[in-house]
């Protein structure tokens, strides 16, 4: 299993890549953690707006 995310640069070098299932799980967990933090911050801002 191999994934690669690249910037639309002319040289097309990968800016983010991982190849093993363990790497995939680790990156998915990192993304999930970021998403939870974003949702927490959105809730915090909404709370401030509504007061």
For residue range 7-22, list pLDDT tens digits in order. Answer: 555 565 555 565 677 7
pLDDT at 34: 93
Q: What is the pTM of this model?
A: 0.52
Burial-class residue 42 by CB neighbours within 10 Å (0-12, 13-18, 19+).
Answer: exposed
Q: At 33, list the tokens.
A: 């953690």
45 to each of 9, 13, 32, 42, how far by Cα in Å? Answer: 35, 37, 20, 5
pLDDT at 11: 61
pLDDT band at 41 (very low <50, low <70, confident <90, very high): very high
Helix (H, G, I), strand (E, B) or coil at 17: strand
Q: At 20, list the tokens.
A: 């093993």
Averaged pLDDT of the chain = 76
Residue 26 has pLDDT above 80, yes or no: yes
């Amino acid at each position: 299993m191999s994934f690669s995310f690249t910037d639309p640069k002319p040289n097309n070098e990968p800016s983010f890549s991982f190849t093993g299932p363990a790497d995939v799980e680790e990156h998915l967990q990192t993304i999930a953690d970021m998403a939870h933090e974003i949702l927490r911050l959105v809730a915090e801002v909404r709370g401030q707006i509504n007061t």
